[in-house]
Chain A
Amino acid sequence: MASRNLNQAPVRQWHRISAHSAHHPRLLELGFLPLENVRVLQRSWFKRGALVVQVGDAVFGLRPDEASQIEVHAHSEVLVDLAAA
C-alpha cells in the first residue's frame, strides 16, 4: 500500500492518516490522530504557502513542512488493502 505525505496529497481527495505516521506531537493534540480522515481543501499558488486541511470535522491551516510530516493513505487504497486481507 503506497503511502504519501499530506503535502503531496491531491486536493479534495480523502485520505486516512497512517497508523505509524510520526508527526509533530502538537498535530496529534489538534486531532491529526492515526486513522483519522484527512484531506487537503486548498493549496497555495506559492510553493511555501500554507495549505488548508480538513481533519475529521475541523479545518486547519498548515505550512507545507508541517503537512509533509503527516503520512497518509488514499481512502481507495485502504479499501483495496482491506479487500485483499
Chain B
Amino acid sequence: MSETKVDISGLAQRRLALLGNPNCGKTALFNRLTGSQQKVANYAGVTVELKRGLMKTATGRSVTVIDLPGTYSLNPSSQDETVACAMVLGQSLREKAPDLTAVVIDATRLRRGLRLVAALKRLGVPMVVLVNMMDRVRSQGREFDVARLQAALGVPVIEATGISTHGTDALRQLLDQNGLWQQARPDIATVRPDTGTARTDDAQAQTWLQASALDQPMGDHEWSRRLDGWLLQPVTGVLVLLVLLFLIFQAVFAWAAWPMGLIEGATGWVSASVDALLPAGLLKSLLIDGVIAGLGGVVIFLPQILILFFFILVMEESGYLPRAALLLDRLMGSLGLSGRAFIPLLSSFACAIPGIMAARTISDRRTKWVTVFIAPLMTCSARLPVYTLLIGAFIPAKTVYGMSLPGLVLFGLYVMGIVSAIAVAWVLKLWRGAGEPVQLMMELPDYHLPRIKDLAIGLWQRASIFLRNVGGIILSLTVILWFLSTFPQAPVGFTGSPIEYSFAGRIGQTLAGFFAPIGFNWQIVVALIPGLAAREVMVAALGTVYALSQTGDEVGAALGPLIAQDWTLATGLSLLIWFVFAPQCLATLAVVRKEMGGWAMPVGMAVFLFGLAYAASWVTYRLALNLGGF
C-alpha cells in the first residue's frame, strides 16, 4: 500500500471490514477487490494475520479493506476468531473499529451466514451483506430474490461471485453512498460472549429466510460428498494421501535441489567475481564471507519455502487440507497433536524453517506450540553434509546382513530424530495434559479448483514475509559470526590458523573444557560457532580450523581422512549424535521467535535441545569409550 495511492478526500481513512464464515469465499473476494495492493501484518501482539488492502469505489475514492479471519459467530473460540470479533465490535485496544462491515455469506449456505448477520444486527453494527457464490445458485436455475432478502434484512444486500467482476462493481458503487459511512456505531465495546445467542440468532435467520422465500436448500453439494466417498474412505483416502505426501516430500527435497544449486552457483560466481576484483583484505573478506554468504544463505531457503507453500496453498484452496488433517488426526492425536501438525513436520525433513512457517495453518495454540518445538528434531537436509563427513570418516564401509553399514547408520540417525520427537511430544502431552483435549470440530468445505491468481498472491505473501521477517536476521547473524571468526586478526608469525586467534577461536578454546566430557576437542568447539549460522557451515569451518587449503566440496573429501586419524571413534560418534539434537541453527530460532511472538519459546527450546544434545552425546561418548575400549 503506497502513500501516493491514497487520495486527499479522506476516504481512504474509511475502513471496510470483510467478515464471514470460514470458506465463504471471502479472501477470493478480497483479492478481487484489492488486486495486488495488499499488505499482510500480524495483529498486534498475536500471530494472527490480518490482510489489509486498498480498493477504489466507482468514483475512484479509496477505501481500506481489512480481510478478517473467518468466524462462525461472535462468540470466539480460537485466536483467529477472537481477533475477527474484537475488530468488528471495536473492542481492540490498538486497532480502530472499521466504519462499515461487509458480511460475506455463502449463497448455498444462507442460514449460517445469516446467523452472523443476526448477531451483528442485534448489536447494531453498521453493515452491508454480500451474498457470495451466486453463480452456484444460478447455475442450478434456482430463484434468488435479492431485493426481497434486502427488504427482510433491512440492510443493503449485494450479490457477488468471487470469480467475476459482477458484484464487486455493485459494491464499488454502493460504497460511494456517503450515508452508509455516517451511521452511528453503537457502544458495544463491553459486549461479552454469550453462548445463549446461537439459538435466538438462528431463529432470526430462519424468519428472514422464510420472509424472502429462501428457506429451501440452495446449493448442490452432492459432488463434494461423492468425492469424499473416495478421499475420506479408509483405504483409498489413505492411499491418495500417502501419494500426495510422498510427492510433497519429494518436491521439497528433490525439486528444490535444482534452483538451490542455481542459487549456490550464483552466490559462488558473485563471490569469485568480488574475489577477482578486490585486493585481499578485510573488506573483501567481509563482502565474501559475511554479506554475500549471508544473502545467499537467505535466498537459498526460498525454493523450499515456495514449493512447500505452493502445495499447502493448493490443498487449502481446494478444500483438501482439512481432509488430510482428518485422515491423520488419529495418528497425531495419540501424541496430543492435531492432524494439521503433520505437514509442518514432514516439511521439516527438508528444512525446519519452511516447516515452522507452515505451522501457521494450525489454529490450535497448543498443537502449534508442540509442533514448532519438535520440528527441529526432524533430520533437515543441512545435517546431511555433516553426517556424510562423519559417517565417511568413522563408519567402516562394511556390509551387514546385505545392507551397507554407513547407509544403516544414516537411516538410524533419521529414526533417532523421529523417535526423539515422538518422545518429546509425548512428554509435553503428559506435562501439559491437564488442559482441555485438543478439539477437532473441523469443517470440511466443498472442493473447488484453486485460482491461479489467489495462489500467486498467497505465494508472494509467504515469500515477502520470509524475506522481511527472517532474511534480515539471517544476514545479520552471518555478518556477526564472520566478525567473531575474523577479529582480532592473527599477528604476523602466528603459527596456528587465523581463526584460533579470533573471538570465535578464543570462545571455543574457553568452552573446550565444558565440552571435553562429551569428547569434543577445541577444534570441534571452534567450528561449532560459525556452524550456528547453518549446520553445513560446520564442515567448511572445520576445514578453516585445520588450515586446509581446499574450498567447497573438496573440504569434506580432504577433511575425512584427517579427522579419522585425529579424533577417536568415540568423539566422531558423539559429534554425530550432537547434530541429531543440538540447536545448531540460529535461523530456526529466529523463525520460531517471529512465528510464536516473543523470546520465551526460542530460548526455552535452545536450552532444552542443548541439554538433550549434551546428555545424548555424553552417553554416546561414555558408551563408546567403555564398550569399544577405544
Contacts and interface: CB of A to CB of B under 8 A. Distances in A.
B52 to A, nearest CB: 27
A63 B443 contact: no
B102 to A, nearest CB: 21
Interface in A47-66: 48-50, 52, 54, 56-63, 65-66
Contacts of A24: 441
B440 A61 contact: yes
Given A33-B202, A42-B228, A48-B330, A27 B195 contact: no
Interface in A29-74: 29-31, 33-34, 41-42, 44-46, 48-50, 52, 54, 56-63, 65-66
A52 B232 contact: yes
Interface stretch (B107-115, B385-393, B461-469): B107-115
A41 B195 contact: no
Interface stretch (B69-77, B402-410, B566-574): B69-77
A33 B333 CA distance: 27
Contacts of B199: 28, 33-34
Contacts of B218: 57
Contacts of B439: 26, 63, 66
Contacts of B330: 44, 46, 48-50
Contact of A50 (B75, B202, B329): B329
Contacts of B259: none
A36 to B, nearest CB: 9
B217 to A, nearest CB: 6
Contact of B443 (A25, A28, A30): A30
A41 B444 CA distance: 12
Interface in B431-466: 437, 439-445
Nearest to B74: A29
Contacts of A62: 440-441
Interface residues of A, number: 30
Contact of B329 (A42, A45, A49, A56): A49
A52 B75 contact: no
Given A57-B108, A60-B442, A41 B228 contact: yes
A25 B112 contact: no
Contact of A29 (B72, B111, B232): B72
The interface centre, meaning the residue of A48, A63, A66 with most chain B CB atoms within 10 A of its CB, is A63
Contacts of B233: 42
A44 B217 CA distance: 28
A61 B444 contact: yes
B576 interface: no
Contact of A66 (B108, B112, B333, B440): B440
A45 B234 contact: yes
Contact of B326 (A28, A46, A61): A61
B96 interface: no
A27 B73 CA distance: 11
Nearest to B108: A57
Contacts of A31: 72, 111-112, 115
Nearest to B325: A61
B471 to A, nearest CB: 37
A31 B199 CA distance: 10
A26 B439 CA distance: 10
A21 B165 CA distance: 44
A39 to B, nearest CB: 11
B228 A26 contact: no
Contacts of B440: 50, 61-63, 66
Nearest to A30: B72
A84 B338 CA distance: 46
A66 B338 CA distance: 14
A60 B108 CA distance: 16
Contacts of A45: 234
Interface in B334-361: none
A66 B73 CA distance: 19
B221 interface: yes
B322 interface: yes
Given A48-B333, A50-B326, A57-B108, A28 B442 contact: no
Contact of A52 (B195, B219, B228, B441): B228
Contact of A57 (B77, B219, B234, B322): B219
B142 interface: no
A29 B198 contact: yes
B219 A66 contact: no
A45 to B, nearest CB: 5
A25 B198 contact: yes
B225 to A, nearest CB: 7
A60 B329 CA distance: 13
A23 B228 CA distance: 26
Interface of B: 72-73, 75, 77, 108-109, 111-112, 115, 195, 198-199, 202, 217-219, 221, 224-225, 228-229, 232-234, 322, 325-326, 329-330, 333, 437, 439-445
10 contacts: A28-B195, A29-B72, A31-B115, A33-B199, A42-B233, A52-B444, A56-B112, A59-B444, A60-B444, A61-B442
Given A24-B441, A63-B333, 6 more contacts: A28-B195, A29-B198, A31-B115, A57-B112, A58-B112, A59-B445
Q: Which 5 A-B pairs have the closest CB atoms?
A: A25-B195, A61-B326, A28-B198, A29-B73, A59-B444
